[in-house]
């Protein structure tokens, strides 16, 4: 039976200071048990309880399932946010993986700063994930299966039920005469996970009754080993970082190839990204580190992209933001936040920055497409080079002009003749799509 007190303690241990706890609610057995259990003890949570439902549109009844979830949440007095996603056909991965990508991308977009997404993955799910990763040739990172928590979007994802068996959730629902939605896909052995659940794990349990528990213990041991390795990789990554915090190619080149891959993989994980498959990672890291100075290598995969510029590695979102989000020039005197289509611009006091008198007299904020004069574009190109603005960013960051003279590139720096001590630092906060996708 699911113990609600243990559930709350586990949840608070994973996310003690969340702004909100948002249950990923599909209407299936596991998430129904989780939502009802938390609703019963919501007074013990330090933040509001809510739910999120993702409609993949893959089943004719998906709209009805969303309505059923709304009814459940209404009865429980829990707010629900529904999001319909499009699951595109994706080369190199099946429908399960494509749906998971779309679902987690939506989760990342929905989470506000400090929100905690609570998932209902349990001990049996963990065993299935371990076996799937092993059968696919996963390394240490893959065999660690699902972490109890990880960053997601502007918040974090937690799994407080990883030590709870599926039978305990079923018993909890039956004790309260609660129904749940049965997705036919969860019984279709054409899906790898279902095949393991329906055909493989029962055979293992017949021979080893506590097979799931032993697999869970193996995962715990591997996660401990990974945590130990992570400590060493933290040190290596810190050594490899340049002054701006980005990995330096020259430092990575000092390492053996397998060490480079491990450090780059660790950098991705620490940044909240799912690393690419092993072979693609190895080939991509080799190109990024060993390509000549005139090359423009990149490592692109489903979840992100790594590019190289001036001896640094840059981690970018899988889907780049649109270029030239606000081509029209706008006057600004540095007061308050200037809201643009691509983000927000502000000025903050700093030991060194732009002369406040310059801003007080007013400047023009424009993106590169709005710089039409040939002389102004030449000056801007020289400033880009001086400040080290990567080529792929030049269409997306706002510029400050005084007449035809570029004064600053927001987020990168100020033209030499415009600096003052103290001064105002120009801060650019882009409104970019969530780049993190599921590691599980």
Find the radius of gyration of the CA atoms of the chain: 25
Please enumerate in sequence order all residues whose Cβ is within 8 A of that of 48, keeping only pairs 6 or more positions apart, or say none.
20, 21, 79
- How crowded is residue 425: how many other Cβ atoms within 10 Å of its Cβ? 19
pLDDT (0 to 100) of residue 209: 93
Q: CA 122 from chain center: how many Å? A: 22
pLDDT (0 to 100) of residue 435: 39
Instruction: Spell out the domain ranges in the chain.
Output: 4-204, 241-317, 330-430
pLDDT (0 to 100) of residue 59: 87
The answer to whether 29 is annotated as binding is yes
pLDDT (0 to 100) of residue 433: 44
- How crowded is residue 319: how many other Cβ atoms within 10 Å of its Cβ? 13
Query: pLDDT digits over 96-116, tens only?
Result: 788 888 899 899 999 999 999
Kindly give the pairing relationship between strand 115-118 and strand 20-24: parallel
The answer to whether the Cα torsion of 311, 315, 321, 325 is positive or negative is negative
In 344-437, which ranges are continuous DSSP H helix?
A: 356-360, 374-387
Query: pLDDT digits over 255-294, tens only?
Result: 999 999 999 999 998 887 888 888 899 999 999 999 998 8
| Sheet with 149-152: strands ordered across | 79-84, 49-55, 20-24, 115-118, 155-158, 149-152
In 176-304, which ranges are continuous DSSP H helix?
A: 192-195, 201-207, 211-240, 249-253, 257-270, 278-290
Architecture of domain 241-317: Up-down Bundle (1.20)
The answer to whether 27 is annotated as binding is yes
Average pLDDT of every residue of the chain: 90
Distance separating alpha carbons of residues 143 and 162, to the nearest angstrom: 15
Query: pLDDT digits over 390-400, tens only?
Result: 998 898 889 99
| Sheet with 304-309: strands ordered across | 298-301, 304-309, 312-317
- Residue 351 DSSP one-character state: S
Please enumerate in sequence order all residues whose Cβ is within 8 A of that of 304, keeping only pairs 6 or more positions apart, or say none.
268, 273, 315, 316, 317, 318, 435, 437
Backbone angles phi, psi at 94, to 5 degrees: -80, -175
The answer to whether 26 is annotated as binding is yes
Distance separating alpha carbons of residues 157 and 16, to the nearest angstrom: 13
pLDDT (0 to 100) of residue 339: 87
Equal CATH topology for 4-204 and 241-317? no
> What mean pLDDT comes out for the span 345-358?
88
Kindly give the pairing relationship between strand 330-332 and strand 363-366: antiparallel
**What pLDDT band is residue 384 in, cutting at 50, 70 and 90?**
very high
Query: pLDDT digits over 118-163, tens only?
Result: 999 999 999 999 999 999 888 888 899 999 998 888 899 999 999 9
**What pLDDT band is residue 173 in, cutting at 50, 70 and 90?**
very high
**What pLDDT band is residue 3 in, cutting at 50, 70 and 90?**
very high
pLDDT (0 to 100) of residue 268: 93
pLDDT over 80 (residue 324): no
The answer to whether the Cα torsion of 235, 313, 283, 94 is positive or negative is positive
The answer to whether 30 is annotated as binding is yes
pLDDT (0 to 100) of residue 434: 39
> What mean pLDDT comes out for the span 32-44?
97
Look at residues 428, 242, 268, 207 and name the one whose alpha carbon lies nearest to residue 338: 428
Query: pLDDT digits over 284-315, tens only?
Result: 999 999 999 889 899 998 888 999 999 999 99
Query: pLDDT digits over 177-223, tens only?
Result: 999 999 998 899 988 999 999 999 999 999 999 999 999 999 999 99
Look at residues 118, 87, 82 and name the one whose alpha carbon lies nearest to residue 101: 87
Cis peptide before 69 (omega within 30 of 0): no
Please enumerate in sequence order all residues whose Cβ is within 8 A of that of 52, keeping only pairs 6 or more positions apart, or say none.
22, 23, 24, 25, 80, 81, 82, 83, 107, 110, 117
CATH 3.40.50.620 fits 4-204, yes or no: yes
- Per-residue tokens: 291: 């390509």
Look at residues 56, 59, 103, 117 and name the one whose alpha carbon lies nearest to residue 84: 56
- How crowded is residue 400: how many other Cβ atoms within 10 Å of its Cβ? 25
């Amino acid at each position: 039976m699911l113990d609600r007190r243990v559930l709350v303690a586990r949840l608070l241990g994973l996310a003690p200071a969340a702004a909100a706890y948002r249950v990923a609610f599909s209407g299936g057995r596991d998430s129904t048990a989780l939502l009802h259990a938390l609703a019963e003890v919501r007074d013990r949570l330090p933040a509001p309880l809510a739910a999120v439902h993702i409609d993949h549109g893959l089943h004719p009844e998906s709209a009805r399932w969303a309505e059923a979830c709304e009814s459940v949440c209404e009865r429980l007095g829990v707010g629900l946010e529904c999001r319909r996603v499009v699951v595109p056909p994706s080369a190199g991965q099946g429908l399960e993986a494509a749906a998971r990508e779309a679902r987690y991308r939506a989760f990342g977009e929905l989470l506000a700063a400090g929100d905690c997404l609570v998932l209902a993955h349990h001990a049996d799910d963990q065993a299935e994930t371990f076996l799937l990763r092993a059968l696919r040739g996963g390394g240490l990172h893959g065999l660690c299966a699902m972490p109890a928590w990880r960053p997601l979007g502007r918040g974090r994802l937690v799994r407080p039920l990883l030590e709870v068996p599926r039978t305990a959730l079923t018993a909890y629902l039956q004790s309260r005469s609660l129904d749940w939605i049965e997705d036919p896909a969860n019984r279709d052995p054409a899906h790898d996970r279902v095949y393991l659940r329906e055909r493989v794990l029962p055979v293992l349990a017949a021979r080893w009754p506590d097979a799931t528990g032993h697999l869970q213990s193996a995962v715990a041991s591997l996660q401990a080993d990974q945590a130990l390795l992570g400590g060493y990789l933290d040190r290596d990554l810190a050594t490899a970082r340049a002054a701006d915090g980005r990995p330096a190619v020259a430092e990575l080149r000092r390492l053996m190839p397998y060490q480079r891959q491990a450090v780059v993989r660790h950098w991705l994980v620490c940044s909240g990204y799912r690393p690419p498959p092993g072979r693609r990672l190895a080939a991509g890291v080799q190109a990024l580190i060993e390509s000549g100075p005139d090359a423009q290598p990149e490592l692109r995969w489903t979840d992100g992209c790594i590019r190289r510029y001036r001896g640094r590695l840059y981690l970018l979102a899988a889907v780049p933001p649109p270029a030239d989000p606000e081509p029209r020039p706008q006057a600004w005197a540095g007061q308050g936040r200037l809201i643009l289509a691509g983000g927000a611009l502000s000025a903050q006091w700093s030991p060194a920055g732009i002369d406040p008198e310059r801003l007080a007299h007013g400047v023009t904020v424009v993106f590169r497409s709005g710089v039409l004069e040939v002389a102004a574009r030449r000056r801007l190109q020289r400033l880009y080079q001086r400040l080290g603005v990567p080529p792929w960013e030049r269409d997306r960051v706002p510029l400050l002009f005084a007449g035809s003279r570029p004064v600053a590139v927001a987020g990168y720096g100020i033209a030499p003749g415009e600096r003052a001590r103290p001064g105002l630092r120009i801060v650019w906060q882009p409104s970019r799509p969530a780049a993190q996708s599921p590691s599980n």
